[in-house]
Amino acid sequence: MLLRSFSAKTLPEAMEQVRLALGDEAIILSTQEEGFAGVKVTAALEADDDNDFRPGPPTSELAVADRIASVLDHHRVPRGLADRLLNAAANLQADDWVMALAAALDYELGFLPLSEIGPGRPIMLIGPSGAGKSVTSAKLCACARLAGARSLLITMDSDKAGGRAQAETFADVLGARLVCASDPEAVAKAVSQREADEMAVIDTIGSNPFDGQELRYLSETAEAAAATLALVLPAGGDPAEVADAALAYSQAGAQAMIPTRLDAARRFGGLVAAAHVGGMQFLAAGVSRHIGAGLTALNPVSLARLLSTCEPFEPSSLAAAD
């Protein structure tokens, strides 16, 4: 007996998957509703009395779908979003499952080239405490320098212990002009006084995504500075929790997202869910806390490769190394 489960938004869609994979002789063993995720159907194909059924190798399309499903499950991508990605990938005739996943990610998510950030419009980094906003601000200034442009680093985080000294160190090393601003008016003034070729990067204090007053303050600051809001979010968080936070930040005006600490996490479903729920475009990613490592551009292909190359952690590998 061949036994398989199929998930879809509706029962007719799931039944169509059963028919295509197992044929009209398949036996439906169970149907299960999964809330907003849709339905799950378990089906079986009985062995023939005269000629036992021997399933052959999976077709290319099934192999691609199974591989993508396995990767999305490893990264804990929420079921509803995983189904959307699988459905998008299923519409492509691609034997390379990584490219099929990339196309699905491109269909469901947004990506903003780092080259779009420049002197024309300030970028303001927001996010929870410890997300890596200050280091990311420095990395953006480093990107500007590598591109032959000048940068203006505006910090609203100078009151924390060592905050001003850290900002001064970053600015000195990167050749950026530093301004400390304590309120929206001061930030707007600094932005208005920037040179024509200066890219303005605004570093903010850590915020609570579920505190309406803090979010309003961030929105007022961004509006005063006419800045693009970018959410800095560390990898590895619980997908549901991270998605809730991202939705709150998006309602405050966040349009882009910069994931950080990709080197310190092995599951990125929270980041994918956050970008999707918040309707935010991936801008770039931080793969290290070291400024010299810079920012890595994120596009559908690089994100698909990131998801595909991140294997589950196996303690036995350490034992073998010893």
> Over the stretch 156-182, which tens digit does the pLDDT of each residue have?
976 665 667 778 888 887 888 999 998
Mean pLDDT across the chain, nearest whole number?
A: 84
CATH code of residue 196:
3.40.50.300
pLDDT at residue 58 greater than cutoff 70: no
Q: Is residue 322 part of a domain?
A: no
172 shares a domain with 290: yes
Q: When comparing pLDDT for 91 and 82, which is higher?
A: 82
233 shares a domain with 174: yes
Q: What is the pLDDT of residue 246?
A: 97
CA distance 90 to 127: 35
159 shares a domain with 20: no
214 shares a domain with 160: yes
Q: What are phi and psi of 179, to 5 degrees?
A: -135, 130
275 shares a domain with 133: yes
129 shares a domain with 46: no
133 shares a domain with 7: no
Q: Is residue 20 part of a domain?
A: yes
Out of 56, 83, 100, a domain closes at 56
pTM (predicted TM-score)? 0.75
User: What domain range includes position 92?
Assistant: 58-108
> Over the stretch 176-200, which tens digit does the pLDDT of each residue have?
899 999 899 999 999 999 988 899 9
CA distance 302 to 310: 12
| Structural domains in the chain (count) | 3
Q: When comparing pLDDT for 289 and 238, which is higher?
A: 238
Q: What is the pLDDT of residue 221?
A: 96
